[in-house]
C-alpha cells in the first residue's frame, strides 16, 4: 500500500500541488506566530476579527466551567443542551427563518441537507465553481447532477427547460464563492427557481456575519425571504469567529433534516461552550457593527490601490480578494517571497481551482488597518518584480 501511495504523493509534488500544514504558535489575529516568526496574515476567514474576542473567550470559559468540554453524544441522544437550542433560536431569528439546525461543520451541513431532501429521480443543478462539499453532496444524493456555467443564468435556464416534469428540482450555489470572492445573483436565481418550480439552496459560509445591514448575510443583502430562498446554510467559524454551521428554513425542512440528515444524526454535538461563544458572536454583530463598516472600507481601499498599482486582482467586492497568477509554481514562489517579507498569503492551486488559474487568495479582516494593507501592497509589488 505504501508504495502505491508514495507514487501518488510524488506525482502531486511534481505538479507543484503538494499541500503542507503550517504550525501556528498564537491565537488568530492580523498577526500570527508561525515557526517563531511574526507574520502579518491575509489568509484567514476570520473576517470580523472575532476569533480571539474577549467576549467569545469569556462565554466559552464560563459555559465550560458549568457544562464541561465535550458534547457527550449526538443531538438526538443526550447531547442537545440549552445552549445549542438557544443558539438555533437566535440563528432562526437573525436569518428570518422558522427554524435553524446546528451542524458540526459546513461540509457536514451541505452533505446532510442535500442528501436528505433529494434522491433518485430528482434533479440537482449546481454552479460549476461551487464548494467541494456541495459538489460531493450532489454526487452522493443519487439525483441527476448537472453543473451550469459560473453565474450564467442563461445556461441554467436552458438546463431547467430541458428537465422532465417528474422529480424534485434543487438549484444550489455558493452565495459568495470562496476562491473567486464574487457573489451569486441570488435574486435572479430565486426568480428562475420560482419560474421553473425548483427549490433554491445557498451556501452562505463567506457571507453570513459579514454581509447585510445586520450581518445576516447574503439573504439579507438581496432581501430574500424563506419562500424565495428556502434552504440557507451558513458557517459559524468565519464571520462569527467560532465553529460549526447551521441550516435555516421552514419547520418542515428542519424536521426533515433531523429525521434524515445522516451527518446530523450520527455526529456528537458540538461542545456547549462553543455554542455559547457563538451566541456572544451574534451579540457582537449588533454591538460592534463598526467591524462590518471598517471591513467594507478596507476592501474599497485595497481595490483602489491595487488598481493604481496594476495588480491582477480578480473582480470581487467581498473580503476575498484573489490575485490571479496562473501557474502553480509561480503562485508558490510568490507566496514564499511574501513570507520572506513578513506577509502570510496562501497560494491556491488545482484541484481547488481550475488548471491555469492558480492564485494568491488574499482575505481582509476588520482587524486589519490601512497601514497593514499598505504593507501588503508594497510586498506584493516587490515580490512580483522578483
Chain-centre distance of CA 10, in angstroms? 30
Given the residues 104, 141, 178, 316, the one annotated as active site: 178
Q: Are 277 and 240 in contact (CB under 8 A)?
A: no
* Region of residue 78 (left: phi > 0; alpha: psi -120 to 50; beta: else): alpha
Query: Does residue 178 carry a catalytic annotation?
Result: yes
Catalytic residue from among 83, 206, 294, 368: 206
Active site residue 206: yes
Nearest to 205 by CA among 109, 284, 93, 89: 109
Q: What is the DSSP letter of 229?
A: S
The 10 Å Cβ neighbour count of residue 209 is 30
Report yes or no: 364 and 295 within 8 Å, Cβ to Cβ: yes
Active-site choice (53, 238, 294, 368): 238
Which residue shows C-alpha cell 447574503?
A: 218
DSSP class of residue 149 equals P
* Interatomic CA distance for residues 113 and 245, integer angstroms: 12
Which grid coordinates are listed for 366? 476588520
Phi, psi of 26, deg, nearest 5:
-150, 170
For 215, the grid coordinates are 450581518
Q: How does DSSP classify residue 271?
A: P
| Element containing residue 358 per DSSP (H, E) | strand 358-363
Helix residue ranges, H only, 96-230? 106-117, 132-140, 153-161, 186-195, 218-222
Cβ partners under 8 Å of residue 192, min gap 6: 153, 156, 157, 160, 171, 198
The C-alpha cell at 314 is 480578480
What span, in angstroms and rounded, lies between the C-alpha atoms of 261 and 111? Answer: 8
The rounded radius of gyration (Å) of the Cα atoms in the chain is: 21
Distance (Å, whole) CA 172 – CA 137? 10
Q: Which residues are catalytic?
A: 178, 206, 238
Amino acid at each position: 500500500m505504501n508504495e502505491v501511495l508514495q507514487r501518488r504523493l510524488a506525482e502531486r509534488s511534481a505538479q507543484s500541488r503538494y499541500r503542507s500544514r503550517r504550525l501556528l504558535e498564537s491565537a488568530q489575529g492580523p498577526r500570527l506566530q508561525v515557526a517563531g516568526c511574526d507574520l502579518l496574515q491575509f489568509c484567514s476567514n476570520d473576517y470580523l476579527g472575532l476569533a480571539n474576542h474577549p467576549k467569545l473567550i469569556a462565554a466559552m470559559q464560563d459555559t465550560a466551567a458549568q457544562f464541561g468540554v465535550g458534547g457527550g453524544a449526538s443531538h438526538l441522544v443526550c447531547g442537545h443542551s440549552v445552549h445549542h437550542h438557544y443558539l438555533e433560536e437566535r440563528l432562526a431569528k437573525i436569518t428570518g427563518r422558522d427554524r435553524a439546525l446546528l451542524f458540526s461543520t459546513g461540509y457536514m451541513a451541505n452533505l446532510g441537507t442535500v442528501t436528505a431532501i433529494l434522491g433518485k429521480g430528482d434533479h440537482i443543478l449546481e454552479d460549476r465553481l461551487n464548494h467541494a462539499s456541495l459538489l460531493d453532496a450532489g454526487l452522493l444524493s443519487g439525483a441527476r447532477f448537472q453543473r451550469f456555467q459560473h453565474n450564467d443564468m442563461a445556461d441554467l435556464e436552458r438546463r431547467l427547460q430541458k428537465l422532465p416534469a417528474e422529480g424534485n428540482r434543487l438549484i444550489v450555489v455558493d452565495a459568495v464563492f470562496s476562491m473567486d470572492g464574487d457573489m451569486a445573483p441570488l435574486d435572479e436565481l430565486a426568480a428562475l427557481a420560482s419560474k421553473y418550480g425548483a427549490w433554491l439552496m445557498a451556501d452562505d459560509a463567506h457571507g453570513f456575519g459579514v454581509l447585510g445591514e445586520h450581518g445576516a448575510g447574503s439573504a439579507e443583502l438581496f432581501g430574500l425571504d424563506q419562500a424565495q430562498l428556502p434552504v440557507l446554510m451558513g458557517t459559524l467559524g468565519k464571520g462569527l469567529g467560532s465553529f460549526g454551521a447551521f441550516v435555516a428554513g421552514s419547520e418542515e425542512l428542519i424536521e426533515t433534516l433531523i429525521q434524515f440528515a445522516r451527518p446530523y444524526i450520527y455526529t456528537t454535538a458540538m461542545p456547549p461552550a462553543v455554542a455559547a461563544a457563538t451566541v456572544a458572536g451574534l451579540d457582537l454583530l449588533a454591538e460592534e457593527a463598526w467591524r462590518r463598516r471598517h471591513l467594507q472600507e478596507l476592501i474599497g481601499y485595497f481595490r483602489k490601490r491595487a488598481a493604481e498599482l496594476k495588480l491582477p486582482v480578480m473582480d470581487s467586492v467581498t473580503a476575498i480578494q484573489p490575485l490571479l497568477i496562473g501557474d502553480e509554481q509561480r503562485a508558490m514562489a510568490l507566496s514564499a517571497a511574501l513570507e520572506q517579507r513578513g506577509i502570510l498569503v496562501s497560494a491556491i492551486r488545482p484541484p481547488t481551482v481550475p488548471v491555469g488559474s492558480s492564485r494568491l487568495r488574499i482575505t481582509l479582516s476588520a482587524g486589519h488597518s490601512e497601514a497593514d494593507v499598505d504593507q501588503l501592497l508594497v510586498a506584493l509589488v516587490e515580490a512580483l518584480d522578483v
